[in-house]
Each structure stands twice: as structure tokens, then as C-alpha cells.
Amino acid sequence: MRYEEFGKFDAEWAAFSLYYVTGTSMIVDGSAANLDNLSFRGVVDTQASKTVVSWTGTSAPTECMQLFWQLAMAQLRARLGHAPIVLSALLKIWRATLADTFDAVNFDLHRVLSALDIEDLSYRYRDYSALTTWYLDAWAPVPGKDIIESPFSAALLSGPYTEPTPGDYSVLYDVTQELTAALLSGVDWAFLQKVRKAPATGSYHRATFYFDTQGKRPHLAVRYMLPLEFYAADVASGLIRLDKPLDASKGLDLYRLYLGAVERAQTGTPVKLFLRNHGEVTHPILQVWDDSPTWSDPVQIAGAGSGVLSHVVLAESAVSQQYTAKFTSASAFQVKGVAYRDNPTSLNPTYGTGGWDGTIGSDFVAPSGGLTIPAAGWSLAGFQVNDEFEFSVLGNTTDAAWPADSNDQVEMTFDSGGSADGANFRPIPGQTTRSTASVTIDATSKKFPTKAVVALSWPASTKAFVSDADGSPIQHGAVASVATAALGTAAFTGSGLNDLTRSGNYRGNADRNYRVELDATGTPDTFKWSHDGGSSWEATGVAITGALQHLEDGVYVTFAATTGHTLGDRWDWTATCWGVTLSGLTNNSDVMPAGSIVATTLPLLSVAPGVWRQASADFGASSSPANRVYLTVAPGSDFTAGQTVFVQDLANEAVYEERVIQTVAATYLDMTAAFAGDYEAGAIVLRKGSGEKALWLRPHTTSGTTEQRKDFRLNVRS
């Protein structure tokens, strides 16, 4: 379990904005019958004012104040990821209320529907019929159109006047589900807070919200898990320590896996750890890696041109960004890079920034970010002004905190009966790519066409594996060779004009034997072409133009003359696709479809979801019975008598223990022994032995590196 606070202090990772809503809600037609009859006070208020927002009323119970909150999510996503398992999320807001002794104030949070920006809503439902009085820059949300009418979280506070003490946030909203949805949405989170007097006998009431005054700030307190977590093993028993997920950001040795440095030319003792799946999906294949940057396939998102960008090249230090290349002519383009995934900083938010432009005829090297768009990635023709190509980079974070060779000095292997599998140790910095065509393994050595790869990262004899996307079948082998896309050398056969030139960047999914042959003479001459050496023909009677002529997959031909050729003259060459050849494979006719994984990392196979629930009520030593825990979701067949469960409190990370199940009921579990501690609702109840994969790490020396601590970050991907 992890814990983060956002926004409580200036140095934390949350940026709240606040607007005070004024006006009267109404439907678009402006009729009196459609008024929501809610009066408001105040004007737009922003974070820059660093003040309080107050509301006072003395009459009708419908009087209320509405506040529009916005929370910038980029840095929260950078800390939590897009899809964490949010166990508990509390939105805490400073407030003071003044009311009669018998009065009370309701606090409701409503989801915003139609827009996530205050400017998008201003004036949209403004009353032009003079039925209501509007304040400066006023707007009011319409239930069912701008906001969900039912609140997603609420609080009720009674009078009289209360003033929270330092450190106490007296309005606490449970926003667990809403925060989960906001993280997944990819946009900022916005909600409306409605403050209204509850129906009661009191007559005077006030609500004050401190936004950024006297050190009182709204903030989020989040307890969460990542879908995939690493855990240390107990030194004595080697069993998983579920109370201690590895988290280098904590800065504490208890949360880090430290492999002591070894003497030159030695290899250290293996250390056991576990990878645990807390998510809901079974992962057929998982790979532990060291943040090697990866790129998504470039796609054209605008323009009518037919040009293609096949791949990019990333430096080891490349950072996460979403890039777009926009053409300003048939060959020139500009690049922008905006914040993406775990990097909340935009490198170049606008086109035309100095140094962020290039042409298809040469490599574009970004001034920052570690990106290269190689000339070999573009097709030669077909681009038009305003064509745009987009791709994303998942960058490197490891080397920003640890020396580049730290992970090079660590090896990992499978678990084999509780011990390290000594035959399968391999370095952490592995490489992964995807095949671009189906391959049947009918020989011990086989080439797998792949996306563009850097050959130096795939050294010969490195252990590797190949598998389809669902992990079956899987084969292990070793890297025999790596091929770079190339056109090869052309051979001319004939007695006439030898004036054909070839150009382009081959992006096909197989090695092909091309033949271009003159099939008619005239004005102009014509040719036919084949990609299987002339066994069959892809096109015949193609008129020679004297300009670039595209065959397929980035292969172009040009004839210097349009007439004067000799019938039957031909040119032959072999185009080589990107690919990795693996040797030592088992010849058993396994079919690996396009999209299969080809990797040098260690595959952890079939990591099924762990079985866990959350407690629906407080339980433990002070409860009766002291051995019972009620669950938010029925235990069903996931829990049976005799199994061991691990429980951990959400409010206090130090409170945890293990118990054995005695009986399973419809809504609760009874243990064979009473709990020793007390636990709050929401506590984790986890079945031990489910969702876990053991692996082993050891330090080793690497030629040319300096002796150092082996203290590093672990990453995982499916």
C-alpha cells in the first residue's frame, strides 16, 4: 500500500483552481418555469487571490453557495499513473460554519458533465429574458446538462460555529471512485461543490472556505496500490513481505532492494523478491526492465498526403512526450512535444520553436528529449502541407536518479523450487520489440520481422524469447543476428539501357526478391514488377514516367529515359526487412502471429490476479466477535477455510497481521483466532499465495564500469 498527499503544501503535486458560481440555474429556453430557484452570492474567485470564500444567508432553506473546483491532473498522473488501484481518496477542505445551535449545513459534490473549463460554461445558460439578476461574469450550471444532479460525495455539519484547528480539515469528502475515473480520463478533474442550509429551525448560517490563506489549503490524501507491485522477501524464510512494497521514491532502506557491491570479477549472492498482480486481468507475459525508452507507431492524424513515417530512434535518456510533426511544405516539417505519461513538463508546446524543424532528407535531432526522427523513417514522396504525424514516447526515468551502469551490474533469473535458477540469469536492461508478420517456427533458426531495432542493443548469443500476445506458445532461444532494413544491390540482366535507379526506405514485413522487367517498348516503354523473383507479377504494363515511381512499402524506382529500352531487360535485388534472427528454437511448428513479443528480458509467465477485498466496517480486537471481518464484496469461492489471509489497515501502515480462515459466510470471514489489532473500514484483506511470482536478483561486475551500490528502480510491462 502506498500513501500520497497532494496540495497540502506548496511543494506538493497538486494545483487547485476555485471559482465562485453566481446566478440562477435555468434551462436554455429561459422560461420562468425552468428556473432552479437557487440564489448565489459573489463573483469569480481565483487561486491568485489567496483568500477565503464566504456565504451568509438568513432566510429560505434553498439559499446556497456553489463553488467550481478544478484540479490539474498531469502531475498526479505522473505520481500515481493512469490506472492505480485507489483504496481510499479523501478530499479535505478547510471550512468554518456559523449557525444556530439546531441548524446544519449540507456540503455536496456534483460531477461536471459538459465542460471542464469555467470559460467553456460562461454565458452558456445566461438569462437574456431579465427573469433573474446576474452578477459580473456569472454563470450557473444546469442539473442534467452541466452537472449530475445527485452528488457523488456529501457531508452534513451541524452548528454552532466551529473553526478547525491547524492540521484538521473539517470537510472530508470520499472521492475514491471519482478520482479513479479522473485519472483514467486524461483530462483535468472538475466538480461543483454545493453548500446549502439543511431544512431546520435555525435562521442564520454561514459557510467559509479557506482556499489559500493562513496555510490552510485544500488537498487530497490518497492510499493506493499499483496494479503490479514488487515486494521484498523475508531474509530468513524467503516468504513475501506483503507489508513492504518496494518503492524507491520513499527514500527509506525498508522500501528499497539493496544489493551490496561486489569485488571486481565477482558475482554476488542472489536476493529473492516477488512481483504481485493486484489488478483484475491475468497477464500471460510480464517483463521486468530498466526503463528502456519505447515509441508508439506513428500515425497520420491530419492532412490528405500519402507519405509515411515508419519509426523513430530514441536515446537511452529519452523522456516521455507526445510528439507531433506537421509539414510546412512537401519535404519540411516542424515538431512539437507536449507532456505525456510520467513526464508532466512540455518540451515544446508550439510549432515553430527554434531548432524544432527538419526535412525528410536528413535526420531530425530534437534539441531536448532524446528524440531522433531519422531520414530513413520517412517515405520519399507523398507529403502535403498540413500533414501531421503523431507518436508517443514512454521515456527513461531510471538514469535520472541512478548512474547509467547501475542496472547493467544486476542480473535476474527465474525462481526454481524456492531457489534461483542459475541457468537463466540475464541482465536487467533487456530489449523488447514486436513482430510485424506471422512466422511459423519450422526450423531451429528463424528470422522474425520486427519494428525498427537498434542492432547494438541485441548482441549475438544474448538469451531471448518469442511468444504470441497471450503467452502461448512461447519459445526460448538466443540472438543469432539482427537485420536492418535495406534495399540491397541491384543486378542488371540484358543488352539495352541500364538506367534504372532505386531509392526509398524499405518498410516491408518480409525479405523480398524484387524484379523489374521491360514488358513493352513504345512511347513510353512499360515494365512489370515482382517481389518474389518473377514467380508472379504484382503489376504489368506500367508506363515509365521518368520520375519517382512507387512499387510498394517504400521502394521507389526511377528510369532516366522513358523510351529506348530493350524488351526483356531486367533488374533484380533483395530488400531486407527489419528483423531479429533467433537460434536454438524447438522445431515444433509453433505459429507466432504478427504482434508477437520478441525480447531479451526475462519473461514471467501467467501472472494471474491476486485475490483480495476491502473491509466494509471496522473490525479487530475491540469488535465482537474479534475474529470476524465483513467485506465490501462477497467472498464467494475466492476464499475457503484453511487459507491464510493478510490484513493491513489503511490508516496506519504499521498495523497488519496474518490469520487463517475458519469459515466463509455470505458477507464475512471468520478466522481461527481473534485479531490482535483494530482495523478501520477499507482495510485490505488479501489471500496469500495468489497473484505472486518469485524472481531473483544478484549483483555482478561489468567490464569498464565503476564499483558502486546496486540500488536501482524496478519496472514492469506486459
Residues 350-368: pLDDT tens digits?
999 999 999 999 999 999 9
Task: Verify that 323 and 175 share a domain, yes or no.
Answer: no
Nearest to 366 by CA among 345, 336, 394: 336
Beta strands at 678-679 and 668-671: parallel, antiparallel or unpaired: unpaired
Residues 581-600: pLDDT tens digits?
999 999 999 999 999 999 99
pLDDT category of residue 710 using cuts at 50, 70 and 90: low
pLDDT of residue 541: 97
Residue 206 lies in a domain: yes
pLDDT of residue 214: 58
Task: Verify that 134 and 13 share a domain, yes or no.
Answer: yes
pLDDT of residue 129: 42
Full DSSP string of 199-232 = SSS---EEEEEESSBTTB--EEEEEEE-SEEEEE
Least confident of 76-85, 500-509, 544-553, 687-696: 76-85
Task: Verify that 620 and 554 share a domain, yes or no.
Answer: no
Residues 614-641: pLDDT tens digits?
999 999 999 999 999 999 999 999 999 9
Q: Which residue has the higher pLDDT, 228 or 126?
A: 228
DSSP-assigned letter for residue 183: H
Which cell goes with 515? 524484379
Least confident of 119-123, 186-190, 478-482: 119-123
CB atoms within 10 A of CB 466: 24
Task: Verify that 213 and 317 share a domain, yes or no.
Answer: no
Task: Verify that 545 and 616 share a domain, yes or no.
Answer: no
Distance, CA of 522 to CA of 566 (rounded, Å): 10
Percentage of residues of the chain with pLDDT beyond 90? 50
Task: Verify that 42 and 147 share a domain, yes or no.
Answer: yes
Cα distances from 431 to residues 322, 377, 475, 706, in angstroms, run: 22, 20, 16, 23
Residue 592 lies in a domain: no
Distance, CA of 611 to CA of 126 (rounded, Å): 52
Q: Residue 102 class from Cβ within 10 Å (0-12 exposed, 13-18 middle, 19+ buried)?
A: exposed
Greatest Cα pair distance, the chain, in angstroms, is 108
Distance, CA of 2 to CA of 412 (rounded, Å): 25
Residue 149 lies in a domain: yes
Q: Which residue has the higher pLDDT, 182 or 103?
A: 182
Distance, CA of 622 to CA of 601 (rounded, Å): 49
pLDDT of residue 251: 44
Number of structural domains the chain divides into: 4
pLDDT of residue 332: 97
Q: Is the omega angle on the peptide bond into residue 160 within 30 degrees of 0, that is, cis?
A: yes
Domain enclosing residue 562, as ranges: 491-575
Which cell goes with 17? 483552481
Does the pLDDT value for residue 218 go beyond 60? Answer: yes
Task: Verify that 568 and 654 share a domain, yes or no.
Answer: no
Task: Verify that 617 and 679 share a domain, yes or no.
Answer: yes
Question: For residues 314 and 393, is the Cβ–Cβ distance under 8 A?
Answer: yes
Residue 445 lies in a domain: no
Nearest to 273 by CA among 699, 714, 695: 695
pLDDT category of residue 165 using cuts at 50, 70 and 90: low
Does the pLDDT value for residue 250 go beyond 80? Answer: no
CB atoms within 10 A of CB 665: 12
SS3 call for 33: helix
Residues 560-589: pLDDT tens digits?
999 999 999 999 999 999 999 999 999 999
For residue 408, how many C-alpha atoms fall within 13 Å in the half-sphere facing its CB?
15
Question: For residues 86 and 176, is the Cβ–Cβ distance under 8 A?
Answer: yes
Domain boundary among 575, 603, 621: 575
pLDDT of residue 237: 83
pLDDT category of residue 45 using cuts at 50, 70 and 90: very low
Give the phi and the psi of residue 637 in degrees, each rounded to 5.
-85, 0
Cα distances from 710 to residues 266, 431, 586, 600, 668, in angstroms, run: 14, 21, 36, 21, 44
Mean pLDDT of the chain: 82
pLDDT category of residue 406 using cuts at 50, 70 and 90: low
Residue 108 lies in a domain: yes
Chain centroid offset of residue 28 CA = 39
Looking up cell 498482480 gives 277
Compute the residue count for the chain.
718
Domain boundary among 575, 598, 630: 575
pLDDT category of residue 401 using cuts at 50, 70 and 90: very low
Question: For residues 366 and 337, is the Cβ–Cβ distance under 8 A?
Answer: yes
pLDDT of residue 343: 72
Distance, CA of 72 to CA of 455 (rounded, Å): 41
Strand partners, 512: 575
Residue 213 lies in a domain: yes
Residue 632 lies in a domain: yes
Domain boundary among 395, 423, 454: 395
Task: Verify that 221 and 320 share a domain, yes or no.
Answer: no
pLDDT of residue 262: 75
pLDDT of residue 120: 54
Task: Verify that 618 and 565 share a domain, yes or no.
Answer: no
SS3 call for 185: helix
Residue 416 lies in a domain: no
pLDDT category of residue 676 using cuts at 50, 70 and 90: very high
Distance, CA of 25 to CA of 36 (rounded, Å): 5
Residues 191-215: pLDDT tens digits?
888 877 665 555 556 666 777 665 6
Does the pLDDT value for residue 137 go beyond 50? Answer: no
pLDDT of residue 126: 45
Which cell goes with 491? 543486378
Distance, CA of 67 to CA of 65 (rounded, Å): 7
**458 residue type, one letter:** W
Least confident of 109-118, 308-317, 657-666: 109-118
Calculate mean pLDDT across residues 384-392.
96
Calculate mean pLDDT across residues 80-84.
85
pLDDT of residue 190: 86
Looking up cell 515486494 gives 231
Task: Verify that 500 and 649 share a domain, yes or no.
Answer: no
Question: For residues 178 and 153, is the Cβ–Cβ distance under 8 A?
Answer: yes
pLDDT of residue 477: 94
Least confident of 395-399, 413-417, 626-630: 395-399
Does the pLDDT value for residue 32 go beyond 50? Answer: no
Q: Is the omega angle on the peptide bond into residue 293 within 30 degrees of 0, that is, cis?
A: no
Residues 635-675: pLDDT tens digits?
999 999 999 999 999 888 889 999 999 999 999 999 999 99
Does the pLDDT value for residue 77 go beyond 80? Answer: yes
Calculate mean pLDDT across residues 325-332.
97
Task: Verify that 558 and 635 share a domain, yes or no.
Answer: no
